[in-house]
Amino acid sequence: MSTRARFTAVGLLLSGLAAFAACASDDTATRSFESVETPEAAAPLPPTDFKGDANVPDAAEAGFETCASAAVEAKREKLPVDIIWVVDNSSSMAPAVAEVQAGLNAFANVVGTKGLDFRVVLLSLRGTAPIPIGVKWRYPVCVPPPLGGVDGAGDPNCANTALFTHAAVDIQSTQPLEQILGTLDQTQGYTSGNARGGEPWAQALRANATKSIVIVTDDNSRFPGVSFEGFPGGDNPYTGGLVLPAGILHPSRGGAWLGYVLSGIYGWGTTVDPSIRCTFPDNSKPTASGSEYTALVLKTGGVRAKICDGSAAWGPFFDDVATAVVKTARVACELDIPVAEAGTVDPARVNVRVTDGVKPPLSVPRVTGEPACAGLDGWYYDAPTSPTKVILCPRSCEGAQSHGGTKLPKVEILFGCATLVR
């Protein structure tokens, strides 16, 4: 063999030994990564706009999945549910008013059997007989026991109970969305004694409750659905002298109505064209198709029925609303850390994965605390040392709620890999 050939062979041998050493080193590093006892450097920082798995390099994500020794679904507490029924008191609504009055107890019973902590609020005139207002007759509602109250003699008296608040409001055919906002905050023109005002009812709502709104009308809202959600507050654009507060999803409300659901029984006629009205058995039609309500029903994942179908529509509608209330009930985002298979938890080797039941699971990074959430995905511990809870940032909390999917939302706590951090 020539001298040049010998040098070439030696070079190849040395290259092979170097590669073997590198592999051995990599294997040792991998074993150290999987050992809880062996300290290691924190996982590399994702980009500042980290939004979950999409920003984790494929190789890093693959390693994350490979080293995860256990994924335990966190138990989540269902939050309370506040259900606000808003019933149009126009004379044309007399049959619908009677159906609400007759069916609200059965509705509450269905919701109650699902194990939810619920309350019902009703916005509509209170009474047992038509009320003349000006030249028109208005049709009130009186909810009987057990949801509604009784007097000292045990007779129904349309009163409130622990589970039920009836705020007397004369709901105008085209103004339910405005009256919800105005009476909620008791702004100018919407207090008791005003034509469009009514009794306070904000005190009946719970801060951490899911909000479900149910509209009953044969007309459309003159106030757009987008304004109902995002109005900045100010003069009513349709009627002088009235002041509306901020919309229910305006930032000034602090997320109190986040995840709300709107359902309704109104004048829609087809799923193809929201402007088409349904037809009553006598071939007449409701005043409007309720296109603004359709937009909100579809946006929020609510349910709807056709008011033209009369009494046949109400039983299924009550059931569908109850099912929607249960399905869309929000769940807590402050979670006890479950017990790992190994029995002990290394806080530096905990990761969180969330799904709303529709989108693929999303691994979210740990942040230092609530201020560090900064509107992005993330989670943090309740205590920096010896933590007992994982708390989701608001954006990740919303991503772990039901959004109408066939599967339930889920939060998984993963043990074994170095924590992804932002």
Please give the pLDDT value at position 153: 66
Please list the residues that pair with 352 across neighbouring strands.
364, 413
Q: Where are the alpha helices (DSSP H) in 82-234?
A: 94-112, 176-185, 225-230
Q: Are residues 281 and 382 in the same domain?
A: no
Domain assignment present for residue 159? The answer is yes
Quote the CA–CA distance of 89 and 171 in Å, as a whole number.
6
Q: Which two tokens stand for residue 348?
A: 């530096």
Quote the CA–CA distance of 132 and 345 in Å, as a whole number.
69
Q: Are residues 71 and 85 in the same domain?
A: no
Q: Are residues 185 and 213 in the same domain?
A: yes
Quote the CA–CA distance of 327 and 310 in Å, as a whole number.
26
Q: Are residues 145 and 217 in the same domain?
A: yes
Quote the CA–CA distance of 105 and 142 in Å, as a whole number.
11
Q: Are residues 408 and 300 in the same domain?
A: no
Domain assignment present for residue 400? The answer is yes
Host domain of residue 319: 81-327
pLDDT tens-place string over residues 100-147? 999 999 999 999 988 889 999 999 999 999 999 888 899 999 999 999
What does each C-alpha distance from 72 to 173, 339, 415 come to in angstroms? 50, 8, 8
The answer to whether the beta carbons of residues 372 and 417 sit under 8 Å apart is no
Q: Are residues 155 and 276 in the same domain?
A: yes
Q: Would you say the pTM of this structure is higher than 0.85?
A: no
Domain assignment present for residue 245? The answer is yes
Q: What CATH number has the domain bearing residue 159? A: 3.40.50
Domain assignment present for residue 244? The answer is yes
Dihedral, CA of residue 308, residue 311, residue 312 and residue 313, to nearest 10: 60
Residue type, 209: A
The answer to whether the beta carbons of residues 369 and 380 sit under 8 Å apart is yes
Domain assignment present for residue 37? The answer is no
Domain assignment present for residue 40? The answer is no
For β-strands 234-235 and 210-216, DSSP reports them as unpaired
Quote the CA–CA distance of 300 and 215 in Å, as a whole number.
14
Q: Is 318 helix (H, G, I), strand (E, B) or coil?
A: helix
Residues in the chain with pLDDT < 50?
Answer: 2-64, 68
Q: Are residues 152 and 212 in the same domain?
A: yes
Quote the CA–CA distance of 79 and 208 in Å, as a whole number.
7
Q: Per the structure, how many domains does the chain have?
A: 2
Domain assignment present for residue 210? The answer is yes
Last residue of a domain, one of 277, 312, 327: 327
Radius of gyration of the chain from Cα atoms? 29
Q: Are residues 85 and 103 in the same domain?
A: yes
Last residue of a domain, one of 280, 310, 327: 327
The answer to whether the beta carbons of residues 27 and 19 sit under 8 Å apart is no
Q: Are residues 276 and 229 in the same domain?
A: yes
Place of tokens 């050493």: 21
Buried-state track 81-90, b at ≥16 Cβ within 10 A, e below 16: bbbbbbbbbb
Residue 202 DSSP one-character state: G
What is the DSSP track for 210-234?
A: EEEEEEE-SS--SS-HHHHHH---E
pLDDT tens-place string over residues 36-88? 333 344 444 433 333 444 344 444 444 445 554 567 777 777 789 999 999 99
What is the DSSP track for 33-95?
A: HH-SSS--PPPPPPPTT--SGGGS-HHHHHHHHHH--EEEEPP-PBPPEEEEEEE---GGGHH
Q: Are residues 169 and 305 in the same domain?
A: yes
Q: Are residues 385 and 278 in the same domain?
A: no
Please list the residues that pair with 244 across neighbouring strands.
234
The set of residues, in sequence order, having a beta carbon less than 8 Å from that of 143 and lying 6+ positions away, is 101, 104, 105, 122, 158, 164, 166
Last residue of a domain, one of 278, 304, 327: 327
Query: CB 351: neighbour CB atoms within 10 A?
Result: 24
Domain assignment present for residue 34? The answer is no
The set of residues, in sequence order, having a beta carbon less than 8 Å from that of 166 and lying 6+ positions away, is 121, 122, 124, 126, 141, 143, 148, 158, 159, 160
Quote the CA–CA distance of 16 and 147 in Å, as a whole number.
81
Please list the residues that pair with 166 across neighbouring strands.
122
Q: Are residues 263 and 379 in the same domain?
A: no
CA 166 to chain centre: 24
What does each C-alpha distance from 95 to 91, 140, 228, 291, 310 come to in angstroms? 9, 11, 27, 22, 8
